[in-house]
Amino acid sequence: MPIKRINQAPELPENSRPIVAIGAGGIVNDAHQPAYRKAGFETYGIFDIDQEKARETAKRFDIKRVFPSLEETVSSAPDNAVFDVAVPAGVILDILPTLPVGAAVLIQKPLGDDFEQAKAIRELCRHRELIAAVNFQMRYAPYVLAARHLIDQGAIGDLHDLEVRLTVYTPWHLWTFLERLPRVEILYHSIHYLDLIRSFFGDPAGVYAKTLRHPKMPKLASTRSSIILDYGDTLRANVSTNHNHEYGLKHQESYVKWEGTEGAIKATIGLLLNYPQGEPDAFEYCLFSEGKAPTWKSLELEGSWFPDAFIGTMASLMRYLEGSAATLPTSVDDAVRTMALVEAAHRSSDAGGTPIPG
């Protein structure tokens, strides 16, 4: 089928709302604030328990207000503010009760340290009537939006295969807080891919998984995972991650691949190659044409996962608040289902494989 235009940008709200940032860590400086500045969203003020971090972020992004306490942050926020909560997962339950009843909030993933915390956060949001979304922003990466556009218009036929594969070297030492945690790779990284697969296929019937340590990184609970999602006997969905490929760039891999009955799409996640420098993203697609051999075409991408995808999650929340969008794709209710899938993957890994009969 002829393709005239492939959309790769999220829809923006008709009228944006002021953002009140809670947290000034690396993800805020590397992704949240650059995304908001690019989209033209105003950050009204910022708070971090580390005041020096907050002041540095405010200076870097021309944020006019640095609040001295969480209490003053909340009391000074405009009535129509969106609270952008980017704090460690285990602190979310401490922050949310301080927000006004009925407030709008975007919560950085993961939604708690485990499934039980995720459910507690959901109940708290319901009790305080918070309009809450979770920052599962990979859904809004330009190459994912482009793939979804092609798939939704039937360009590759019936989608029957979705694969995420990483063979990269990730410098885990940059995030020392991970050394204290019982769950690492799936909860803090592959969670993106599990959420992405859910956004295309819905909830699977089950999961087969194994997540592993690496002998050179004994302080980390896991840095490699193999995950197969059970969608019956036609749909295949799997995630394979190896963050310990320390042998140079030549054989590193980082991609998402969609296959359908009438074509296929492959997106290179350049951010994770040669990290943290990164390599260019790439987007290729192949559409069947009667009487012609399959050929691949390339699409020039506008933006990348960081920071552009972070526009999408905030924009979708703002659009839902103003009524220009009927649904909130990354709502807390939906995010709890992704956390349930993470929990199932860990339980599968702990249970081990099926014994081989003697």
Read off the pTM: 0.96
- 141-304 CATH choice from 3.30.360.10, 2.40.10.10, 3.30.43.10, 1.10.3720.10: 3.30.360.10
How does pLDDT run across 8-20, given as a tens digit for each residue?
A: 999 999 999 999 9
- Is the model's pLDDT at 58 over the cut of 90? yes
- Residue 244's nearest CA partner among 173, 349, 181 is 173
Question: Which superfamily does CATH assign the domain made up of 19-138+310-326 to?
Answer: NAD(P)-binding Rossmann-like Domain (3.40.50.720)
- Is the model's pLDDT at 264 over the cut of 70? yes
Mean pLDDT of the chain: 97
Domain span(s) for CATH 3.40.50.720 in the chain: 19-138+310-326
CB 168 within 8 A of CB 243: yes
Domain span(s) for CATH 3.30.360.10 in the chain: 141-304
Give 2's pLDDT tier (boundaries 50, 70, 90): low
Strand partners, 257: 163, 266
- Is the model's pLDDT at 292 over the cut of 90? no
- Is the model's pLDDT at 253 over the cut of 90? yes
- Residue 196's nearest CA partner among 229, 224, 172 is 229
Strand partners, 297: 285
Q: Find how far residue 195's CA is from the centre of its chain.
A: 7
How does pLDDT run across 112-163, given as a tens digit for each residue?
A: 999 999 999 999 999 999 999 999 999 999 999 999 999 999 999 999 999 9
